[in-house]
Amino acid sequence: MSIVTNKLGALALLLGATLALVQPAQAIPAFARKYGLPCSACHEAWPKLNSFGQTFKDEGYQLNNDRDAPFYQNPAYWPVAMRITPHWHFEGNSRVASDVVPGDGTSGQQQSTINASGFDLPGIDILTGGTLAKNISFLLVPSIESDSGTISFESAWVRLDRLHGSPWLNFKFGKFELDLPISEKRIMTLSNNGGFYQLYHFLPPGDVTPTSMGDNQLGAELLGHSADDHTRYALSLLSSSDGELGLPGGRSYDGYFHLSQAFLLPHLGLQRVGAYGYVGLAPTFLLTSDGVPIPGSGRGNRSFYRAGAYASFYLGRFDFTGLVQRASDNVFLANATAANQTLPDGAQSPVWNTGTLEAHYTYSPQLVFIGRYELVRMTRQALATNPGDFANLDAFTLGYRYYPFMHSRAGLAWHQEVATVRSKLTSLNGQDQRSTSVFMGFDFAF
Amino acid sequence: MRIRPQILYCSILLISLATGVASAQNAGASSGYPVAQGKLTEPEHRGKGLYRRYCVGCHGVRGDGNGENAPYLDPKPRDFTQATFKCRSTASGSLPLDSDLYATITRGIHASGMPSWNPLPSRDRSDLIAYIKTFSPRFHEEQPGPALPIPAEPPASAESTQRGAAVFQDMNCWSCHGKDGRGNGPSAHTLTDSRGYPITPYDLTTGSRFKCGESDRDLFRDLMTGLDGTPMPSFTDALKPDQLWDVVHYIRSLQTNHGQDGEAAMVGSKTETGK
């Protein structure tokens, strides 16, 4: 099965197209309304959670003050919130492969700079969540894509909380965001280049491994935490479909774990260190009928992994997270080759390291500055003939969010951001490519 | 001259780190609002920033319980300007100890909108208390009384429960709490708190958590101190400690769910015992 052809420009496409779909979700004024809390009670700066918000989430969207069960609510209360971000953005992409004669695919290719700008909308998320009963929580997030109008399910899960009365045992089932070291659904930056984590999405050019840890996954999760939420763990068993419905691949599963420990440093606040790992299996080809792939008939499973460790530190109003990850994909997945076919010469399974440093300066709950630097360094290329630094990547994002008011009915932020990504030697002529976004807009939820 | 982008990125991050640390030290605030210090002490100042972040929506900017959510809450958020608190280890009418307030905000108040603030670092909780005390001059003018001693609990027994039932009868607990403790006594619907809002006597048959803690000692203390600002009186003069323990055992016998409730294992609740 040839899923994507191994093209050098694939990276630029990957950044431009698929990531426009990456959409932050969680910021749920329905909870604020239910409990009468201002956004700032749960969010260090919306959508990033503080320790109170994290505990609330870990308790299954419950405060445990016995007002959690839905019948404490006015019957007119409906746990629904919506979030959208009308914005203006600029996207600049250098050395994009384009036909010499537009419209004529046989005219040969050249490198072009493509700059676009204008007013835009992302998709819209309809966030519904809360409790079905005391200690049974749920989240359902239908989202409407802005371009196609299609509706998809960003999240849909039920969680049984406090099994045997213990915070250590909770069971989640459905489609959900993994308990990631840094939440991508609660990312503080929104642009095409800055609105996602390279660490979750990066694949070497030509690699077709169907995974990005940042996307919501289908599966079941056992998770828990100590009474003070300082020790947290999550163990997930997932369909290896990267959250796609309808069992497209077959019957392989992925596994994920995350363990973290927080400790309180006097005068500094809560610091957290953690480690995680993701191991997956993905089919490299499908059986076909008359040449047409038969859905769900995935064969030739090959594996991949991601493993990392991180630390989050608070220093007064400043917090930063540093994260290192090692990743590798099987040689067949990395070279888009079916496991029953011959590999190209020099094919090997690629290995790469990523580093992420994210810093926030929360001047007040109404003004936050965000800086992030991510790098990807290949340590082994998918093809031995590739230069050693091929597809190495540096991504930098700077932005701020200003919240003109803070109450418990709605949230509004003015958001400005610049993000730029450089990938080494990936252009048609083997030169570096750069992709830059400038983004400003109103992010609101109610 | 060409600066390597990594170096540029990292220096920008480091500069923002430096400013972050510097101004955190200046303001002495972590995740609260930057607020003017005025005459406030350092803990009060920090507490004020945190209060703006966490508490203001219910308890109000002036601490008078008139936050924007107050109209929708029942019971109403506490008016700190009156310095009248339900959960105390001190005698009726006395100010609470800091440790009482600390235990309350750590535990939250059951059957009310007041959440448990246990997730906040302990220093933040102490600073919040320092600040809410500035809303009433009473904390400058008076000293809280000493914590009333709680004697050791005698073993629960059928006899003790029976004696407790008799006390419940004699002391007219039933006139408010109802014959079977369901909060439906003859005068229940006439009761108001000190701010004039209607208040329901606690339904003693539900759950196992009370506003001021869940343990037998907490319950004993409630009966001893009363819940200031509510019609629930103090019985420390009218009843001897042994009688109070009998009542505690009787109340436990009304709680059919006691001990089965998963929430009984809740976080902050434990901090309250032994005060």
Question: Residue B4 burial by CB count (10 A; 0-12/13-18/19+): exposed, middle or buried?
Answer: exposed
Q: Is A31 on the interface with B (CB under 8 A)?
A: no
Q: Distance (Å, rounded) from C-alpha A95 to C-alpha A1?
A: 29
- Strands A48-49 and A43-45 come out as antiparallel
Would the CB atoms of B33 and A364 count as touching at under 8 Å?
yes
| Residues B175 and B239: beta-carbon distance below 8 Å | no
Which of A38, A269, A320 faces B17 most closely, judged by CB atoms?
Answer: A320
pLDDT of residue A40: 87
Which phi and psi (to 5°) does residue A440 adopt?
Answer: -145, 140
DSSP state of B92: T
**Lowest-confidence segment of A122-136, B148-162, B253-267 by average pLDDT:** B253-267
Other Cβ atoms within 10 Å of A358 Cβ, number: 24
**A364–chain B Cβ distance below 8 A for any pair:** yes
Measure in Å the smallest separation between the Cα of B53 and chain A Cα atoms.
Answer: 6
Tokens representing A431 are: 């030169």
Q: What is the pLDDT of residue A396?
A: 97
Task: Out of 1.10.260.40, 3.90.1310.10, 1.10.760.10, 3.10.450.50, select the CATH number for domain B158-260.
Answer: 1.10.760.10
A40 touches chain B (CB under 8 A): yes
Contact status of A361 with chain B (Cβ, < 8 Å): yes
In this structure, chain B runs to a length of 275
Min mean pLDDT across A249-253, A347-351, B205-209, B216-220 is at B205-209
Better-predicted residue by pLDDT, B106 or A73:
B106
Tokens for B132? Answer: 């809410």
Q: What is the distance in angstroms between the Cα of B243 and the nearest Cα belonging to chain A?
A: 30
The pLDDT of residue B261 = 43
Question: Which of B2, B19, B31 is the best mutation test for A, with the most CBs of A within 10 A?
Answer: B31
The pLDDT of residue B11:
67
CB of A225 closer than 8 Å to CB of A261: no
Distances in Å between the Cα of A199 and the Cα atoms of A161, A166, A337, B64 are: 30, 33, 24, 48
Q: Tell whether A164 lies on the interface with B, counting CB pairs under 8 A.
A: yes
**pLDDT (tens digit per residue) in A219-230:** 999 999 998 899
Under the banding of pLDDT at 50, 70 and 90, the label for residue B229 is very high
What secondary structure letter does DSSP report for A296?
Answer: E
Contact B57 A369 (CB under 8 A): no
Residue B65: is its pLDDT beyond 90?
yes
Whether B16 and A63 lie within 8 Å, measured CB to CB: no
Interface touch B72/A67, C-beta < 8 Å: no
Q: Residue A145: what pLDDT?
A: 84
Contact A394 B17 (CB under 8 A): no
* B134 has pLDDT over 70: yes
Subunit contact B119:A408, Cβ cutoff 8 A: no
B residues 196..255 contacting A (CB < 8 A): 207, 209
| A413-426 mean pLDDT | 97
Q: Give residue B176's pLDDT.
A: 95
Residue A59: predicted pLDDT: 92
| Alpha-carbon gap, residue A214 to A236, rounded angstroms | 14
Is A229 in contact with B9 (Cβ distance < 8 A)? Answer: no
DSSP annotation of A133: E
Q: Do A66 and B23 touch (CB under 8 A)?
A: no
Residues 6 or more apart whose Cβ sits within 8 Å of residue B93: B228
Q: What is the mean pLDDT of chain A?
A: 89
Nearest CB neighbour to A314, from listed B30, B109, B264: B30
Beta-carbon separation of A63 and B54 below 8 A = no
**Token pair listed for A185:** 């659904």
Q: Do A64 and B267 touch (CB under 8 A)?
A: yes
The confidence score (pLDDT) of residue B239 equals 94
Give how far A229 is from chain B: nearest CA, Å: 8
The partner residue sitting opposite A66, judged by closest CB among B54, B73, B110, is B110
Q: B7 or A50: which carries more pLDDT confidence?
A: A50
B31, A44: Cβ pair inside 8 Å? yes
Asked if CATH classification 1.10.260 holds for the domain at B5-141, the reply, yes or no, is no
Q: Which of A193-197, B171-175, B209-213 has the lowest mean pLDDT?
A: B209-213
Q: Could you check whether B5-141 and B158-260 share the same CATH topology?
A: yes
For chain B, give every domain's residue range: 5-141, 158-260
Q: What percent of chain A has pLDDT over 70?
A: 93
**Mean pLDDT throughout B238-251?**
95
Chain A residue numbers touching B69 (CB-CB < 8 A): 36-37, 408
Contact between A372 and A194 (Cβ < 8 Å): yes
CA A112 – CA A277 distance, rounded (Å):
39
The residue of chain A nearest to residue B267, with distances taken between CA atoms, is A227
Chain-chain contact of A64 with B29 (C-beta, under 8 angstroms): no
pLDDT(B262) > 50: no
Answer yes or no: do A373 and B19 touch at CB < 8 A.
no
What are the structural domains of chain A?
Answer: 2-99+109-445 (2.40.160.10)
Chain B residues close to A227, C-beta within 8 Å: 267
Q: Is the pLDDT reported for residue A11 higher than 90?
A: no
Alpha carbon separation from A344 to A71, A87, A171, A277 (Å, rounded): 62, 44, 44, 29
Contacts of B206 in chain A (CB under 8 A): none
